[in-house]
Amino acid sequence: MAETEAVPVGAAEAGRWPRGAGDTGRSRPVEGVRAYGLIVGMWLRSTLAYRASFVMTTVGNFVATAFDFVTIMLMFTHVDALGGYTLPEIALLYGVSATAFGLADLVLGSMDRLGRRVRDGTLDTLLVRPVPVLAQVAADRFALRRLGRITQGLLVLGYALVTLEVEWTPLKVLMLPMMVLSGAAIFGAVFVAGAAFQFFAQDASEVQNAFTYGGTTLLQYPPSIFAQDLVRGVTFVVPLAFVSWLPALYVLGRDYPLGLPGWVAFLPPLVAGVCWVLAGLAWRAGLRAYRSTGS
Amino acid sequence: MGDTDFIELDGVEKVFDVRRRVGFLRRERHEVRAVDGISLRVPRGEMVGYIGPNGAGKSTTIKMLTGILTPSGGRLRVAGIDPSRERTKLAHRIGVVFGQRTTLWWDLPLRDSYRLVHRMYRIPDRRFRENMDRCIELLDLGALLDVPVRQLSLGQRMRGDIAAALLHDPEVLYLDEPTIGLDVVSKARVREFLRDLNAERSTTVLLTTHDLTDIEQLCRRVMVIDHGRLVYDGGLAGLHEVGESERTLVVDLERELPPIDVGTESSARVVKVEGPRQWVAFPASASAAGLVARIAADYPLVDLSVREPDIEAVIAKMYAASS
């Protein structure tokens, strides 16, 4: 898309502020987080307007995800190891990935509705408000029922920690919260990038789901059972391997896939940072394209 | 920045690149000039009707004025601000009501939506209460505040939306079809409120509408856009003259009669006869009184009504007259 013609900004500075409201000089991230909180509060209240429905969907969400791990446990009644990994080891991979994904899904999971908002034109109503659009889209349809998934992830993680036979070192202990938080950030960046893509292709939410929902399913199994090319893809292209595989393998004292060096286990925070910068750029490009094409 | 040019447009253009699929993968690109060089000035405190047929470029203009869309060319300022560059800064100073899309929270009481506006726009508490009280009184919202928005009628919701757009004291209010789908009473109430707002706060109002009565009752100035160009800018009366538009008198007689003899001196004429009902067209700029008196004197009259010309017809005539 061609850049719009540059126009002198001098005239804008002459603008007057006859009334108290307006530009507060606060930074955009702060404004964004505040707006996010305000809108989430409204959705929570909307949800609680239908209390019974909320309780049922939360429980349903928990049960549905719980069955997921029950399947794996059932599998282990017939085999002793999967891809060379024991049940507690798989539980660690599963718990980290599910909790990280659950957090990202809770905070940003409704961003895949952006395409619909673009199509029906309701995105415009967000663009005339004095707060960042990203925050408004992220908070859209905030669904507390997604706590169900996080609960399940934490339970599996707890099971892993109780049953694992690992020599815990301070570094390995620190690795746990780092994995979960960086992992959530990486998934979050994928959500934002996926939403940005919907500015260009309004029905692309399935593509995004392949990386988010599909990604978390993938990470719940050890890398040893997948083809090398797939493992390469989720390491170097969409770096989901940094969510749980690489740091968790460090905790388990296992060999890394693809012959990667040991220090990659400590990269997740950095990878998450880079992902967010890229996702932010993608978002800006998407929003700019929307504002020049209107569709 | 003078008050004489609160909204300024100089040769503003918006060109869309439309890609159309012509084969399996082949696509044809062509340009659509949705807004094709519009220049205008709106002083502070004016109430302007912005009209035109569907697809003429009305909403594209509004979207550029609110900063939603970036113009492809030209210069555009609202209150001295370039909307597309300082969208969020401008947002504090403008109010927008999209007739078809509510910004209210569907499942929550109306009151909650206003609380969000209060905090999102950081409206000082006192100011918020004053504005709230005023809107409650003038838009008659008192009984609706604790009702979930989904239970409101269309007219009630529109009133609720207008209030939501005004709580932060915008200097300019954009209304996109504010009376569409409303009943007569709701329409009247909305119009009255807008008149008061404009008179008391000298809020600049720009409204798009298909309802010429909105314009007649609210706006001294009308801008007509068609094919992305401003084709008329002036008073409503002038628009009727330029467009040579006609109003229609629908006359119900006691029985079927030959076409009414309207006399030779007036330019009125019978355009349609259907049983006892006849349609008499006359210039929109002329008074209906003389015509009605003449018909009432000579014919067994049961009922009559006057139909205003619709905007599409006026614009069509304008084109016919100029080409």
pLDDT, tens digit (0-9, with 9 covering 90-100), for B49-68? 998 887 888 889 999 999 99
- Look at residue B52 in the predicted model and tell me its pLDDT: 83
pLDDT, residue A7, reads 37
Instruction: Confirm whether pTM is higher than 0.95.
Output: no
Nearest alpha-carbon partner for B12 in B189, B181, B230: B230
Nearest to A42 among B67, B94, B116 (CB): B116
How many Cβ atoms from other residues are within 10 Å of residue A170's Cβ?
7
pLDDT band with cut points at 50, 70 and 90 for residue B243: low
* Most A-contacting residue of B63, B88, B112, B171 (CB-CB within 10 A), to test interface: B88
At A152-198, the pLDDT tens digits run: 999 999 999 999 988 899 999 999 999 999 999 999 999 999 999 99
Q: Write out pLDDT tens, residues B88-107.
A: 999 999 999 987 788 999 99
Residue A270 φ/ψ, nearest 5 degrees: -65, -45
**Position A36 pLDDT exceeds 80:** yes
Q: What is the pLDDT of residue A11?
A: 34
CB contact under 8 A, B80 and A46: no
Q: Which of A7, A22, A130 sits opposite B82 (nearest CB)?
A: A7
Predicted local confidence at residue B130, as pLDDT: 93
Residue B118's pLDDT is: 95
pLDDT band at residue B323 under the 50/70/90 scheme: low
% helix, strand, coil for chain A, step of 5: 75, 0, 25
Q: What's the whole-number mean pLDDT along residues B250-259?
A: 89
> Mean pLDDT in chain A?
85
State which amino acid sits at residue B12: V
pLDDT band per the 50, 70, 90 thresholds, residue A28: confident
Provide the 8-state DSSP code for B259: P
A130 vs B63, B91, B124: nearest CB: B91
Joined together, the tokens standing for residue A26 give 């606060």
Is a pLDDT exceeding 80 seen at residue A66?
Answer: yes
A122 vs B: CB within 8 A:
yes
Residue B228 token pair: 């992305």
> 3-state DSSP call for residue A49?
coil
- Residues of chain B neighbouring A124 (CB-CB closer than 8 A): 63, 68, 98, 101
Instruction: State which amino acid sits at residue A103.
Output: L
How high is the pLDDT of residue B37?
92
Task: Report the distance separating Cα B264 and Cα B109, nearest Å.
Answer: 62
What single-letter DSSP state applies at residue B144?
G
Number of H helices, E strands in chain A: 13, 0
pLDDT of res. A281: 96
Which 161-180 residues of chain B touch chain A by CB within 8 A? 168-169, 171
Within the 284-313 window of chain B, which residues sit less than 8 Å (CB to CB) from chain A?
none
Portion of chain A with pLDDT greater than 70, in percent = 91
If contacts are CB pairs under 8 Å, which of residues 209-228 in chain B contact chain A? none
Residue B72 to residue A131, Cβ atoms within 8 A: no
Instruction: Tell me which of A97 and B56 has the higher pLDDT.
Output: A97
Closest approach of A289 to chain B, Cα-based (Å): 10
In tens, the pLDDT along B291-318 reads: 888 888 888 989 988 887 766 677 777 6
Q: Do A122 and B121 touch (CB under 8 A)?
A: no
Spatial separation of the C-alpha atoms in residues B80 and B69, rounded to whole Å: 17
Alpha carbon of B225: minimum distance to chain A alpha carbons (Å): 19
Q: Average pLDDT of A203-213? A: 79
Q: What is the ipTM of this complex?
A: 0.81
User: What value does the mean pLDDT of chain B take?
Assistant: 87
Q: How far apart are CA B229 and CA B57, in angstroms?
A: 8
pLDDT in tens, A133-144: 999 999 998 988
Q: Nearest-CA neighbor of B78 among B35, B50, B40?
A: B40
User: Region B192-217: what's the mean pLDDT?
Assistant: 88
Instruction: Please report which confidence band the pLDDT of residue B4 belongs to, taking 50, 70 and 90 as the band edges.
Output: low
CB pair distance less than 8 Å for B1 and A11: yes
Q: Is the pLDDT of residue A5 over 70?
A: no
The confidence score (pLDDT) of residue A102 equals: 94
User: According to the model, what pLDDT value does residue B190 have?
Assistant: 87
Which band of pLDDT confidence, cut at 50, 70 and 90, is reported for residue A214? confident
**Selected residues 46-65 of chain B with any CB under 8 Å from a CB in chain A:** 60, 63
- Among A9, A11, A128, beta carbon nearest to B96: A128
Between chains, do B85 and A19 touch, taking CB under 8 Å as contact?
no
Q: Measure B176 CA to nearest chain A CA, in Å.
A: 12
DSSP code of residue A266: G
Percent over 70 (pLDDT), chain B: 94
Phi, psi of A74 (to 5 degrees): -60, -40
pLDDT of residue A4: 40
**B89: which chain A residues are within 8 Å (Cβ-Cβ)?**
22-23, 130
* Per-residue pLDDT at A211 exceeds 50: yes
pLDDT > 90 fraction of chain A, expressed in percent and rounded: 45
Whether B151 contacts chain A with CB within 8 A? no
Q: What is the pLDDT of residue A153?
A: 93
**At A17, is the pLDDT very low, low, confident or very high (cuts 50, 70, 90)?**
very low
Asked if A293 reaches chain B (Cβ–Cβ under 8 Å), the answer is yes
Q: Chain B contacts of A7, Cβ < 8 Å?
A: 75, 82
CA–CA separation, A174 vs A169, rounded Å?
A: 9
Of A12, A49, A131, the CB nearest to B82: A12
SS3 A89: helix
